[in-house]
Each structure stands twice: as structure tokens, then as C-alpha cells.
Copies of this chain bind each other. A is one copy, B any other.
């Protein structure tokens, strides 16, 4: 027998190593020793308040706790409750509901939405495209489905979106295959915090249109908007959605939506995949193939999470309350980002361009060593892709955000001097 005993590897790289888990454990051990005020645990991917407790929107939990017993107990339809899917459209589009046809299916968080997209719009062996800075589960999902992940360089030398790199890579892959899923994580990209500008979107769409002029080519633009409600002004963050209408039929925009961050219901696994097309047959097909995938993967989704969202959207004053509560959390997060970036700029610390969101990337060489050096100061960050440190400003206080750039800068200099 080889490396596997009873199980099959099935083209996956299964190491079981969880780097973030390991660093998080170290952080917790240090907190035990020196007290939490002396530790900055910038590894956690959830929004914590200034005291280090998970931010939970109480207005949302009140709705969830007050449901009818049947709303916890009963199965939901495979594709999701219709009123949930209507609420998701409102949550995503607000005033930007596009022309044409829209369909949606419920999924367990964004992960389920991404999984279903890759399963249904590519074939085994195909290449999926995303940026070189990316949320690592994209690779896990791709491998599980026996697809490959390729990347384009996200930023050019001036730290702008690298349009040329995007177009070149897309064109290269599409000489090898006739269909592709391109995953674009925006606004507040994980892990850099970058939000594509409207001009960036024009370039992305123009590159896709060039390929799509060959009608045998199919391009799915999967927009992962997990962080859209922590990207600043809600309407401005959604302006790009209007760019996704009136596209050629063989460019299909899909949106991966998650209740995890927007409603602080990470643990309830509420989410959806949304499809927009000028052609009703394409949105009908979307519903059909995704329903099959849901049935075959997790059956139906958590009914109570769906009812919670629809209850909120059925009651304008309740929605207003939730949005207000979320705005307080967002303001806290944005102020942390500003504190970090102001200080970084002042001392010339090199970062990826950051607009908003849970994470900031400090670019550096030898990030593993820098990360270890920072442990001594009680600072826990995640070495990322061997060319940066991922700092979760979502999980550390504003004072720590102001302090970190200088500490990191010193650690980088110390490591480089060795």
C-alpha cells in the first residue's frame, strides 16, 4: 500500500497541515501566559470587537431565536425557500437590481456557492482562474472537483489592478479550453482588502468580451462578495453590479453571497449563488443544474437561517435596525484599517493596496521568519504565499492596528539583516 491506506487521493494535495490553526493556538497559549492585553492575535477571520469578543448583531440573533419551531425543524426546498431567495436579491442588489433574468439557489455559505459553480460550469481537468493573492479554499474546492487553479498577477508595479496580466492569462487559458470559471473576490478582497474600481471592471469585461466573440467559448465570472457589507458605503460598493448586465450570453456573471459576515451568522451556513442573464433559458438551466448539485452534496440548507434573512427583509424597521447595528461594526473595522494604513504609509511599510475588509497584506521577503520574529512581541500574523504577512485587522483592536506597522517593519529589518 502507498501513502493512503483505505482512502483515495483523487488528485488532491491533502496534507492536513493547518498553518493558521497552529499560529492561533500559539497566540492562545501566550494569552494564557501574559494576558490578552499583551497579545495581538491577527490570525482570526471573524470580526471581533475592541475587547476581543466576536461581534454578533443582536438584532439578527433576536430574529433567529424567536422563530416558530417549524422554522427550525422542517426541511427547506432543495434550491432554498423562495422568500429567502427574494431577500438575497435585495441584500445583493439593493437599488441595482439588473435588467434581464435573475435566479438564485441557497448554498451553505459562500463555499457551497463556489463549489456548485465550478462543478456546473467546468469539466474535470479544466483550469479555474483567480488572482495570485487568493483565499486558499479556492484551491481546496478546485482540487476536490479534480480541476486545476491558475492565477494572474493581481497588482502591477504601481499597485493597480493588473489588467494586462488578467487579459493575458485569461487568453492563454482559453486557447486550451472552451469554458472557464474566473473567480473575482471583490469588494474588500480577501486577503488584500482591494476593491476593483469601475474602470477595473471595464477592463475585466472587455477582456472577457474579446474571448467571447468566439461563440464556442463560455466564460463564467464568479464574483465572491463575502465582504461586500464591510466595504464602506453600501451603494457605492454595489455600483459595479450594473456592469454585469447586458453582456453577451456566453459571459455569465454569477454572485457568491454569504450571510456569514453580513449578518454575523458564520455558524449558520446561510448563503446563495445568484445568476444573471439576458436569456431565460440560461437562468432556468442554472436553477436546474444547481438544484441537482445541492441535492447531491448537502440536500437542502439550514431553514432557520433562510427565514431569519427573509424576516429581516420583510420588515423595513427591522432591516433598518440590523443595518444600523452593522454600520457601527463596519465603522469600527474601517477605523482600524485607516489606523494601520496611515501608520504604514508614514513609516514606508510596503503593503498591498487596501480599500476595506478584514485583512491587510504586508509584503515582505521571508514572511515565515518575520512572523516568528513577531511572536516575541506577542503579535501573531499569518505568513502568506511566501511573500507577505496577512494581518487580520478584524480581530485586533485599533490601538494594536496603530502599533503593528512599526513592529512589523522592525521585524522585517531584523530578519533581512541576518
Identify the A interface with B (CB < 8 A): 4-8, 10, 12, 14, 16, 46, 54, 56, 58, 61, 64-65, 69-76, 108-109, 111-112, 115, 119-124, 137, 140-141, 143-146, 179, 218, 220, 249-250, 252, 260, 264-269, 277, 279, 281-282, 285-286, 288-289, 291-293, 295-304
Q: Are A123 and B8 in contact (CB under 8 A)?
A: yes
Chain B residues positioned under 8 Å from A281 (CB to CB)? 5
Q: Are A111 and B7 in contact (CB under 8 A)?
A: no
Chain copies in the assembly?
2
Q: Are B292 and A144 in contact (CB under 8 A)?
A: yes
Q: Are A54 and B74 in contact (CB under 8 A)?
A: yes
Q: Residue on B with the closest CB to A120?
A: B7
Given contacts A61-B73, A72-B265, A292-B140, whether A112 and B302 have CB atoms under 8 Å apart is no
Chain B residues positioned under 8 Å from A109 (CB to CB)? 298-299
Q: Residue on B with the closest CB to A8?
A: B123
Q: Are A298 and B12 in contact (CB under 8 A)?
A: no
Chain B residues positioned under 8 Å from A289 (CB to CB)? 4, 7, 14
* Bound CA span A269–B108, Å: 10
The interface centre, meaning the residue of A4, A277, A282 with most chain B CB atoms within 10 A of its CB, is: A4
* Bound CA span A146–B300, Å: 21
Q: Are A7 and B121 in contact (CB under 8 A)?
A: yes
Q: Are A10 and B140 in contact (CB under 8 A)?
A: no
* Bound CA span A124–B8, Å: 10
A8-B120, A8-B121 given; 18 more Cβ-contact pairs under 8 Å: A6-B218, A7-B120, A8-B123, A10-B124, A14-B288, A56-B70, A64-B72, A65-B72, A108-B301, A111-B296, A111-B297, A124-B124, A140-B295, A144-B292, A268-B302, A297-B298, A298-B298, A302-B302
